[in-house]
Amino acid sequence: MIPAKFEYRRAGSVDEAIGWLREDPDDAKLLAGGHSLLPLMKLRLATPGVLVDVGRIDGLSYVRDAGDHVAIGALTRHRDLETSEVARAHAPLLARVAAQIGDPQVRHRGTIGGSLAHGDPASDLPAAALAYGATFVAQGPNGTRQIPADEFFLGFLETALQPDEMLTEIRVPKSGGASAFQKFNRRAQDWAIVGVAAVLDGTPRVALVNMGPTPVRARAVEEALASGASAVDAAAHAADGLEPPSDVHASSEYRRHLATVLVRRALEEASAARG
């Protein structure tokens, strides 16, 4: 399978990339590692006329201790997040989730910024970012702005990023180890049929993979936990208010049940980690 024809431009800076996005706001797409976009282009589900390769822009691949949060450059590859000592110490859920994405080859190429900007509800990192209450930094023609994770995922593959904005940094509040990630799939590299990211440090936050058109918080579970419910009782609310998709892998009903099982496991695992 070969992508449709496109013009290829390699950006040397974020400003240059944004300039090119502004020239073709309807037809230009950013390319980082390419592991979300290129498969879609090969299937001709995406046919951008201009591909702006941001993969070589210097200075956007880092995981830094920034005081009260961990700052992650958008071009940080999954493998680098997985092995980052800073991430393991202060955002351990993110490091663990990164280690479970796809397979080693995919983790050598895919970037956190690309995965989040793609906004796929079946991806693992968006749910982890939601559970951590991360903040996304986007750069546009008029400077940078910060977008809370809760306001970032708007619809299926749709985010709050404007056509001339680029995600440059992800800020994750420092967290201890009381977190867990659970996902279920039939084959090693498949997308999660359902996944759960739970963070119990501070106010409990639980986010779900593949339970709707966007990565989504399990708010009924969070409310139950806040009012003192046990993991088992809270998990029973995992699918409240959600309408997960039916597809070749599972029916909506199956997903609703699976969510309650995986949320319970995630809460128990996170509680045990808290000690």
Cβ nearer to other proteins, comparing 66 with 157: 157
Asked if residue 103 binds other proteins (CB under 8 A), the reply is yes
| 186 part of the interface to other proteins, by CB under 8 A | no
Least distance CB 56 / other proteins (angstroms): 9
Mask for 62-101, x = binds other proteins (CB under 8 A): -----------------x----------------------
CA separation for the pair 250, 262 (Å, rounded): 15
Hey, what are 140's tokens? 């546009």
Binding residue for other proteins, selected from 16, 53, 65, 240, defined by CB under 8 A: 53
Contact 101, 78 (CB under 8 A): yes
d(CA 79, CA 65): 18
Q: Give, as one character, the DSSP assignment of residue 244.
A: P
Closer of 188 and 248 to other proteins (Cβ):
188
Among residues 5, 58, 142, 248, which is the contact residue for other proteins, using CB under 8 A?
5
Does residue number 197 form part of the binding site for other proteins (CB under 8 A)?
A: no
Q: For 175-240, where are the alpha helices, taking DSSP H only?
A: 219-226, 231-235
If one asks whether residue 42 binds other proteins (CB under 8 A), the answer comes out as: yes
Contact predicate 133/121, CB 8 Å: no
Residue 166 Cα distances to 20, 21, 149, 202, 246, angstroms:
11, 9, 15, 31, 32
Q: Which residue has the tokens 């968006």?
A: 126
Q: Which is nearer to other proteins, 104 or 155 (CB)?
A: 104
4 binds other proteins (CB under 8 A): yes
Q: How many Å apart are CA 46 and CA 35, to the nearest integer?
A: 13
Name residues contacting other proteins, limited to 210-249 (CB under 8 A): none
Check residue 31 for interaction with other proteins (CB under 8 A).
yes
3-state secondary structure of 93: helix
Amino acid residing at 275: G
Q: Is 7 in the site for other proteins (CB under 8 A)?
A: yes
Q: Nearest approach, Cβ of 135 to other proteins (angstroms)? A: 29
| Residue closer to other proteins, measured from CB, 40 or 157 | 40
Residue with tokens 């400077």: 143
| Contact positions vs other proteins (CB under 8 A) | 1-8, 10, 31, 34-35, 38-39, 42, 51, 53, 55, 79, 102-106, 108-109, 188-189
